[in-house]
Every structure is written in C-alpha cells, then in structure tokens.
Amino acid sequence: MALTVAIVDDSRADSEYVEKYVRAWAAEREIALHTECFPSAEAFLFRYEEKADFDLLLLDIEMDGMDGVSMARRIRRADGRVQMVFITGYSDYIAEGYEVAALHYLVKPLQPQKLYAVLDRAVERLAQEERCLDLSLPGETVRIPLREICYIDVRQNYVTVHAGREYTLRMTLSEVSERLDERFFRIGRGAIVNLRLVRRVTRTEVHLADGSCLPLPRGAYEPLNRAIISGN
C-alpha cells in the first residue's frame, strides 16, 4: 500500500516530530510513504489546488492565519475520502471535527503509540472507502462507492439510495443493510444514514452532508450519538 500524508503545522519542530513518527510507523508496517510538511493552511491549499492527491491530513488547529478547522471545511467540501486528524493543545474542538468528519483528535504533546493507533485506523478507513454497493436497475447495473451514499430511505416496498443522485429499486431496507458496513446506522424503520456524513444531530432531526434533514424517531438520539462516537 502507498500513502500520501500532509502535515500542516506552523511549528517546524512539531511538524518534524510528527513526520519522524509517521515515517517510523510506515516502516514498521512496510507501507510506501510520501509526506509533505506545510507551515500554514494557506501554503497547503496552494499546493492542494495544483494536485489533490493526499490520503491523510494531520492538521494543527491553532495556527497563524487560517486555522486547521477552517481549512478542513474547505477540503471536505471537495473531498469526502481524505482522512483528517486534528492535532491540538486543547480538547474543545469536538463540534468542529464532527462537522468535517474528522477521524480523531490527538492532543499535544503527541504520544507515538496513540499516533500509531490513529494511523492504523486511517489505513483501515481508506481501504473501506473502496467498497461499493452494486444495484441491479432496469437495463443496467450500477456500482456506488459506499462513501458516496449519504442515506437510504424506504417507501412501501421500494428503497431509494441517495448518493449524489437517487437510485430507486424494489428491495427492503433490511436487505440493503446486509450489504453495507459499520459506517451505516439504521434510524427507526424508515432510513439508514452514513455516520461519516452526519453533520448535526438534534433530539428530533439528523442533518447530513448533502443538506438533507431527516426526522429522528423517538428513542434514536442516544443510540445514534453512541454510534457516531464509537465510529470515530
């Protein structure tokens, strides 16, 4: 496996420290690694506009100029696959990470073993991103990457897969659920949501990355939040 990693931190010493252990982790796991370090969010975005080829972003949050969360929002609008890990001296950015589907938070001073565990999870998620849902539609078979599916809902005996466009076919929600993985969560009888594309949850609604707002059945709020937390 090959992995391209960007480290964005306005502290050169911190960047070099992170890069050192990322390289040690990759060597242990025999992963071909390419790393690039950037002293600011603006420097990263300039490079990213030329070629958006990163698999993993390790982002400092508190930086001069644009902060790491604002940068992550811009990247996430264009790229749903890239894995993001925030590195911070504080622990009060959970809501912001929730918004951009961050993989994890690491608190400075960085502990190598915790970094290794997060990097292992990033590799697992990148492998998952390649999985697809195959749908047999009239006259064609469609392959939809699971990462592109925002949610699936059901009306009578038909389900609709919402993934940029809508795909409707005769099937039960349970039959579709069996072909998904742990990133998906069923809310009540009528819908399945992609946990990584959840942007906000209230007691009565769940808001998704495509702008959809689904009603949240009574009793589903706590289980949904637990699923999101355990998935991260």
pLDDT tens per residue across span 112-149: 999 999 999 999 888 877 788 999 888 889 989 888 89
| 123 within 8 A of 130, measured Cβ to Cβ | no
* E runs forming strands in 39-139: 56-60, 83-88, 104-107, 132-137
The residue with greater pLDDT, 26 or 183, is: 26
> Is 81's pLDDT higher than 90?
no
Residue 228 is classified by DSSP as H
Structure tokens at 183: 């990133």
Q: What is the pLDDT of residue 147?
A: 84
Distances (CA, A) of 93 to 77, 90, 103, 171: 19, 8, 13, 40
pTM of the model: 0.61
**How many Cα atoms sit within 13 Å of 231 on the Cβ side?**
21
Mean predicted confidence (pLDDT) in 147-176:
93
Question: In the structure, what pLDDT confidence band is assigned to residue 100 with cuts at 50, 70 and 90?
Answer: low
Question: In the structure, what pLDDT confidence band is assigned to residue 207 with cuts at 50, 70 and 90?
Answer: very high
| 60 within 8 A of 71, measured Cβ to Cβ | no
Structure tokens at 157: 């005996």
> Is 93's pLDDT higher than 90?
no
Q: What is the pLDDT of residue 98?
A: 55
| Beta pairing class for 56-60 and 2-8 | parallel
Domains annotated for the chain, with CATH where assigned, are 2-128 (3.40.50.2300), 133-231 (2.40.50.1020)
| Beta pairing class for 56-60 and 104-107 | unpaired
| 44 within 8 A of 6, measured Cβ to Cβ | yes
Rg over alpha carbons for the chain, rounded to the nearest Å, is 19
Structure tokens at 103: 């993989």
Mean predicted confidence (pLDDT) in 159-173:
94
Q: What angle do CA 175, 207, 72 make, to 5 degrees?
A: 110
Mean predicted confidence (pLDDT) in 172-185:
92
Q: Distance (Å, rounded) from C-alpha 108 to C-alpha 126?
A: 25
Strand partners, 50: none
Name which of 135, 140, 200 is nearest 163 in CA terms.
135
Question: In the structure, what pLDDT confidence band is assigned to residue 77 with cuts at 50, 70 and 90?
Answer: confident
Structure tokens at 53: 């080829």
